[in-house]
Structure 1
Amino acid sequence: MKNLSRLLFAMLLVLGYSNVNAQDENNPWQITIGTNAVDAYPSGDGIPFSETIFSKFVDTDNYNILPSLSTISVSKYLGDKFSFGVAGSINRISKWGEVPGSSEAITVDDLSYYGLDGTIKYNFLNGTTIDPYLGLGGGYTWIDEVGAGTVNGTLGLNVWFNENIGLTVQSAYKHAFEDYLQTHFQHTVGISIKFGGVDTDGDGIYDKDDACPDVAGLEAFNGCPDSDGDGIEDSKDSCPNEAGLTEFNGCPDSDGDGVADKDDNCPTVAGLKALAGCPDADGDGVADGDDKCVNTAGPAANKGCPWPDTDGDGVLDKDDNCVDIKGTVANNGCPEVTEEVQKQLNAYAKTILFDTGKSTIKKQSAAVLSDIIKILKEYPTSKFTVEGHTDSVGSETLNQRLSDSRANSVKEYLIENGIDAFRLSALGYGESRPIDTNKTRAGRANNRRVEINLAK
């Protein structure tokens, strides 16, 4: 009864230890229940790592085995692959050491064996199926109710069948501090169970693996919730409280127009993406709600109504530089100077007369100048160059000066009679651009001329 009390006391210590610290990681606790074998043959005369200590290490004939539940251990994971455990064990000893000077085992009379040991373990491949470890620790061992302290070295292997259950095989070398307790090995085989993971939100996913440990969620989303049940976790759902579509990050599209309700200015009426989900009946790019002419296409600048074209030249008034004069699209609604008009201008311009050797315009040229002005006013946006030319009589310098002066005289006359100054420029070419021979009177008359040409 006394021996049984010792074993129960050891187990109570172990189980009590298992509840000392709070559980804060996935399966931080490991309990192992199994059987053990004690081997003190050979003892190596108590000398650690002597020549004989491992000579019959695997000779099971020398093992003292209690074929029942004889070992229980509990360990706590500390972090960084380290754990600390406490183990309690019992056995019955019938072979203890060897006869000095021979290889025969010393037979003893069914001695009791009790052990209580603490071990710090390092798991090399923590978290894997094959999980080897080394341990270092110490304890107290009683043989036939006589006890002594030991220092222990441990080599073991866990083989995990799943996340929580596995097989543990371990060998511990126990070196005694007292001569009356021989150095020996204790081998253990048992079933191990890992447990104790924390699940704060109660969703069945341990906090360590739970991306949202304080909020109940789904395994598919690593413990994070999907409040609206649309298959998109709340953290990635732009509308977490309304079931929606993946393409809209979890937001609904009530009218099915491809624009999520949160971005749809007309969520109950199918519309266009370009108009934030609102319809455009006349297709003019102006949403019906802003279109003053819903069924007639028109520009946004005119609130969806068409612009007027007063002169009917195909250029809207807003773009027409000559609103009341029919023109061309290429010339922004203004008429273009044709080759025929250009010829007419120069036909008139050639008849402008000047006082001999001067730039003074003769009065009889007023009529033709009036015709020129009428033509220029028909093309209000066109610009012209007034060009002066002379014959070759006289010096080239004087002819150049005279042509400049006559061109400017015509320009000033036109400005004074209603033609905008920005539309006109003047340039003299002297005798450099004759259009006829200077050897005859008629030829020289043709060369003395003014031209009014469209500016390029």
Structure 2
Amino acid sequence: MKFQTIILTAALVLSGVFSLNAQDRQNPWAIEIGTNAVDFYPVGYDSGTLFPSIGAGRVHGAFINEYFNFGDHYNFMPSASRVSVGRHLFSGLSLNVAGSINKIDKLGDVEFNEWFGADSARYYGLDASLNFSFADALDKSWVIDPYLGFGAGRSWIKYGYAYGFYTMNANVGFKFWVLENRLAINVMSTFKSGLDDTYSQDHFQHSAGLVFQFGGKDTDKDGINDDEDQCPMVPGLKEFNGCPDTDGDGIEDAKDECPEVAGSADFNGCPDSDGDGVEDRKDECPKRKGPMELGGCPDRDKDGVADKDDACPTEAGDPNLGGCPDADGDGVADKDDACPQEGGTVANGGCPEMSIDVIEELNTSTAAILFALGSNELNYEGKAILDEIAQVLKAYPTTSLEIAGHTCNIDTLTFNQGLSEARAKAVRQYLITKQGVSPSRLTAKGYGENEPIADNATAEGRAKNRRVEIRVNE
């Protein structure tokens, strides 16, 4: 027995020293204040040094038999009769030291005062245990936290003289958390097996109490102790181990590429305001939906040119023409094409250019417009020819033309110069007023007798020189 006493005492001392040097965890210290009940009955018939029965009453019954018989078997003090101090060691494991006091007035079915001449005896207990919490080991926040434990202790029963004996203990309990990691209701049942052949007595001790946990340092006051807080200087959230989520998007700032603006996990915490699959910081049109290949900008006419760059956003067109259509395929957008239904040249505003052949044809026609000597009057045949010429001019609506008037050498140079100008103006005016040719396209100029095409020495030559010609303005 002396050897057992030394071993158990040493174990208690070493456990206490170990607890003081254990690794911290959130609120590693705990104090419990509560009550307890002692039951000698459901421990086995031949358990301990007491007789299994006294008189007609049984002190012991079968193991666990009538385990919950509070009224007949429990010795209970309705007051604060148990105090414990606990220290978390490491994942799932904690050390607890408890002291308790009770009044023994029942030994199983036997009333104490019927056989011992006194109302009751005093019970004292001092115990240490290692408890294993499943929730703590799994790092779970359970409202109901079950645990198992084992340990050792010493119990005393004082009846005149205090009889003490060492025990090996096994316990099971549940913590019901009221405030997570801070305040809980603890319910525990401990089986204590006596080790002393002379005075020991097996028994159950049940307890219930309030547990207050404390002792953690929380620099940033976020409710997460520094030893578990990965951002101990900045208030944060438990789900991120104490690190902040400034924008509240469920992505901690350290992993959030846009920590000040709520966003999506798909974009590492950055927003996609228009929901087009292009995050705002890469979206050239963050408020309007558009495809990724266009920088997130819309393309209403589906021509591959974003609306913001499309000069014709509602009409499908050529990307090379700013997204505008080119119906005649001449390389000039319809909106800029003076002849959108006729192929032309860029230099001529999208309209066809008058070729040399056409000009020669026009001049062949105008050569038939002859004037009487000294006259600028158009005859019937001349007007008919101009009507045909007008149709050709309308086919080239952007071509600017010069109408050149000429004379023969009869009369003075001054007279002939004026007469050539009058003839050119007469043709111009006819094309404008009778055929609707734009005035801006036509200029009239007289060359007098300076550019003959035939010999003025003959009547036939002079007749050919009294003419008009059409030239393309450069």
The normalised TM-score by structure 2 is: 0.44
The normalised TM-score by structure 1 is: 0.45
